[in-house]
């Protein structure tokens, strides 16, 4: 693999830099209250695996603790965040946040997952220790997500993550299932707005890469 470009050099768009900075505060505060939190989804890929796709959401797995959840949101307010929305369900939490006029989302699922220790790159290209998922587990999630919502970002993430797989057998059946049930993404044109650097592949190129790897 080629050397990774530091995130502070990748982020040329001012809004993206501001969202990334807000995410860093969210993650830092999160681990004060939920030290076993697991970051996953697009932000987990972008920050922990030096991905090239921007993600506005912070998605995590945590154990449900209503008192700590309230303390966490209070800490965000003390840091200057406005809580635009907050919806707590039995198995999940959704929130919309605003920081210095920039909006982002924080979503938590109350599930036990196997943590994978990794470095998280901040907007200033410092690194902090976090938990995320293995590349294999992220791919399994992304395959299930793509098949349910058909969004190009999930297909892009799968094609990116296959370069990090260490145990092919763990994901091969999932990738073959993706190939067998594949339908075109419903939002291919949106990929251009969330790729940070480089060319914008089309869905056919991404699928070809996945097929080549899954043989």
38-40 and 57-61 beta bridge pairing: antiparallel
* CA separation for the pair 74, 28 (Å, rounded): 14
Q: Which residue has the tokens 């840091």?
A: 79
> pLDDT tens, position by position, for the chain (215 residues)?
445 788 888 888 899 999 999 999 999 999 999 999 999 999 999 999 999 999 999 999 999 999 999 999 999 999 999 999 999 999 999 999 999 999 999 999 999 999 999 999 999 999 999 999 999 999 999 999 999 999 999 999 999 999 999 999 999 999 999 999 999 999 999 999 999 988 999 999 999 999 999 98
Residue 24: closest CA among 9, 8, 10: 8
DSSP-assigned beta bridge partners for residue 106:
58, 95
> Is the whole model's pTM more than 0.85, yes or no?
yes
Q: Which residue has the tokens 């190129």?
A: 205
User: 153 Cβ partners below 8 Å, 6+ apart?
Assistant: 42, 53, 55, 190, 191, 194
Is the alpha carbon torsion for 31, 32, 34, 35 positive or negative? Answer: positive
Residue 155: closest CA among 131, 121, 120, 190: 190
28, 60, 81, 114 from 35: Cα distances, Å: 10, 12, 21, 14
**Ordered domains of the chain (ranges, CATH):** 7-133 (3.10.450.620), 136-214 (no CATH)
**Which H or E run contains 77?**
helix 66-78
């Amino acid at each position: 693999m080629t050397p990774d470009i530091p995130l502070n050099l990748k982020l040329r768009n001012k809004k993206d830099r501001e969202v990334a900075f807000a995410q860093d505060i969210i993650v830092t505060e999160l681990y004060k209250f939920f030290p076993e939190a697991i970051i996953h989804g697009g932000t987990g890929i972008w920050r922990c695996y030096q991905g090239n796709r921007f993600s506005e959401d912070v998605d995590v797995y945590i154990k449900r603790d209503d008192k700590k959840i309230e303390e966490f949101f209070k800490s965000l307010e003390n840091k200057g965040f406005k809580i635009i929305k907050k919806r707590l369900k039995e198995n999940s939490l959704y929130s919309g946040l605003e920081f210095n006029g920039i909006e982002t989302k924080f979503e938590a699922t109350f599930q036990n997952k196997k943590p994978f220790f990794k470095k998280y790159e901040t907007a200033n290209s410092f690194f902090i220790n976090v938990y995320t998922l293995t590349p294999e587990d992220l791919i399994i999630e992304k395959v299930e997500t793509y098949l349910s919502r058909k969004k190009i970002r999930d297909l892009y993430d799968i094609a990116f993550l296959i370069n990090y797989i260490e145990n092919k057998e763990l994901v091969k059946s999932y990738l073959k299932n993706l190939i067998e049930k594949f339908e075109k993404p419903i939002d291919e044109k949106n990929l251009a707005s969330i790729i940070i650097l480089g060319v914008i592949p089309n869905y056919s190129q991404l699928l070809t890469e996945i097929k080549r790897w899954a043989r």
